[in-house]
Structure formats: C-alpha cells, structure tokens
Amino acid sequence: MLKKLLYGIIILLVVYLALCFAGPNKTYVIAKKNIQATPAAVFSQIVELKNMKNWSKWILEDSLIELTYPSQTAGIGGSYSWKSKKSGEGSMTIKSLETNKMIAYELAIKDWNTVSDVKMDLTPANNSVDVTWTLEAQKETPFYFRGMMLLMNMNGMIKKDFEKGLENLSQYLKTNPSLVSLNGFTIQESNFKTTDYLTKRATVKMQDIPTFFGTHLPEIGKAAGSSIVGFPCGIFWKWDEASMTTDMAAAMPVSNKNISNETYSVINLPNSKEYVLNYYGAYDKMKLAYESMDSVIKMNGYANPETVIEEYITDPMVEKDTSKWLTKIHFLVK
C-alpha cells in the first residue's frame, strides 16, 4: 500500500514537472478591441487613473475594494493603489506616454510579488480607435510555478479580464462621449453660442488684474443696467509669461448692442466650439484647472484656445467661503 502511494506521488511529481516544462516561462497577455470613440476620448480615460473606476473590471466587480490616490493621478508619475480581500493589494504608476497614441504603466501586485509592464496603444481607424492592451512580467516565472500557471490558464484568465475591461470602456464612452475627467475636474465639450459683451479691454499686468476688475466691473454693470443677461466675466486673448501681462477685458454679457460709451464698448464673440470646466475655489488657485483644460484641448488637436472666458458665477461679496466660489472656465477653440 505504501509503495503504491509512493509510486502515485512520484507519478504526480513527474506529471507536474512535465507541466512546468510545458508551462509559460513568463506572464504575457495581449487583448484588442475596436472602440467607437475618438483617440482623445479613449486617452482621457486611461491617462487619469481615477477614471479606471469607470471601466476597470476589477474595480467595478469588487464593491469592497479600497482605492488610494496620491496628489498626482494623471500623466507621467501619476499613480494609485488598491487593497481588498478579493483583488489583493497592489499599485499602478504611469511611466511614459504619447498623447492620444500610447501610455505605459508599471503594475506591482504585492500578493504575487510581481512587477509587470503594462501598455495601451491607440491606433485611429476611421471614426474609431483600435486599442491594444498588453501586459508582460518583468521577470520570468519561477520554474516550479509554471505548472500551476498552465493548469490555471493564468494568461488566459488575465486576457479575459482585459477584454472585459475594454468592453466596459467602450460602453462607458458610448454613454459619455463628450465628458472628460482629469485631475479631479470634469471637462465638457460643448458649443459656445454667440454673445455680446460690454467690455473694457486693455493690456494688464498680471499682478494688477484684481484691481482692473475692481475698477471696471462695477462701472460696466451700471452702464449695462437692465441689458445684463448673465454673470460678470474676464475675457483673455493673450497670456504673456515673459512680460507678465495679458490682453484681456472685464466684461458683462448684454442683450443690447447699442450701449457703448467713451469708456466701455460692446464686442461680440461668435459661435464656437468650446471646452468648459466648473472650478470651485479661490481665483489664485486655478493653475491645475487650467493645466487640465490645456491637456484636454491638446488631446483634441488644438495647440491653444483662441479665447478664454472666466465666468464668475459666485459673488465673493456675498459668499465668503472661497471653496464655494464657482468660476466657469470656457476655452473657445477653432
């Protein structure tokens, strides 16, 4: 009986060794899908790691997963980590990218003690994008684990998860074609409708912008009177970091084109495509919002906005809490 048991164990060991020889020496997975969206729309979902909750199979199917985000989650150096009983523990970091074409990550899975290179390539195809998602372990699988990898079809399981993630991404973009989330901001692609503004336009030193607004917006409001049809605005055509000046206007949208005077004149901004962001916070803390807007228009093929409008929805004289100040930022593009 003991001999039979030993023979059985030896046979199992021989079979498992054979499986180890036949098993994959490295984790390598590739999944592909054609997604009906623009390269910019797809890229915006994969360059901001907070967006993975919109389409990641592992996140969507694990209600107890704990996601941790550092200060930077988008662009090179952006990262996030996760922890849960079902999905284990790990992290992902963006290592390199090429806007609208490619993004490469480093994926570290603590439970498996593995680090892998993950890459998503985007190739335009008429009105869609061919997305290729690959994963390759940085180190070979230890010999004694290869049999298990073969028995579990580990590469095949990961490929199925990738395919499900790409299908989720495709479905998400079908229902959210014009929304982009980046650095915690939601940016909407829209159409700006032609608007007349009563304005005071000048080249202003950046440090003098608050004084410029304080001087002219109240007077513009008085001159516009009942013709006002919206909120006070700042309109910017040029922002010169070298000279620290800006070509700008203090402005108020109006319904009457015939209210110009010696100091204030009516200008018209025509119909245009635009990108819009709702910013909450102090006026001097908008840098990340502007960087996010700039990234999004570049994803969509625009070098710079033609015109920038800051629409001041919240009256700071009434609301003292700066975190509640809403400024609607419009990037008009051609």
Q: Is the pLDDT of residue 269 over 90?
A: yes
Q: List pLDDT tens digits, range 101-153.
A: 999 999 998 877 788 899 999 999 888 999 999 998 876 655 444 444 543 44
Residues 77-102 as b or e (16 or more Cβ within 10 Å = b): ebbbbbeeeebeebbbbbeebebbeb
- CA 203 to chain CA centroid, Å, is 33
Q: What is the pLDDT of residue 104?
A: 97
Q: What is the pLDDT of residue 16?
A: 41
Cα–Cα distance, 148 to 311 (Å, whole number)? 60
Sorted by sequence, the CB contacts under 8 Å of residue 34 that are 6+ apart come out as: 125, 128, 129, 130, 131
CB 155 within 8 Å of CB 29: yes
Cα–Cα distance, 254 to 271 (Å, whole number)? 16
Q: Which 8-state DSSP code applies to residue 1?
A: -
Mean pLDDT of the chain: 87
Q: Which 8-state DSSP code applies to residue 149?
A: H
Q: What angle do CA 105, 158, 101 make, to 5 degrees?
A: 35
HSE, CB side, 13 Å, CA atoms: give it for residue 270: 3
Q: pLDDT exceeding 70 applies to what percent of the chain? A: 87
**In the structure encoding, which two tokens stand for residue 232, read together?**
């006070």
Q: What is the pLDDT of residue 26?
A: 62
Residues 108-119 as b or e (16 or more Cβ within 10 Å = b): bbeebeeebebb
Q: Which 8-state DSSP code applies to residue 162?
A: H
Q: Which of 6-15, 212-221, 241-250, 279-288 has the lowest mean pLDDT?
A: 6-15
Q: What is the pLDDT of residue 10?
A: 53
**In the structure encoding, which two tokens stand for residue 35, read together?**
């997604």
CB 42 within 8 Å of CB 54: no
Q: What is the pLDDT of residue 113?
A: 79
Q: pLDDT exceeding 90 applies to what percent of the chain? A: 71
CB 88 within 8 Å of CB 110: yes
Cα–Cα distance, 56 to 298 (Å, whole number)? 25
Q: List pLDDT tens digits, range 158-175.
A: 788 899 999 999 999 998
| Phi and psi torsions of 227, nearest 5° | -80, -10
Q: What is the pLDDT of residue 158?
A: 77
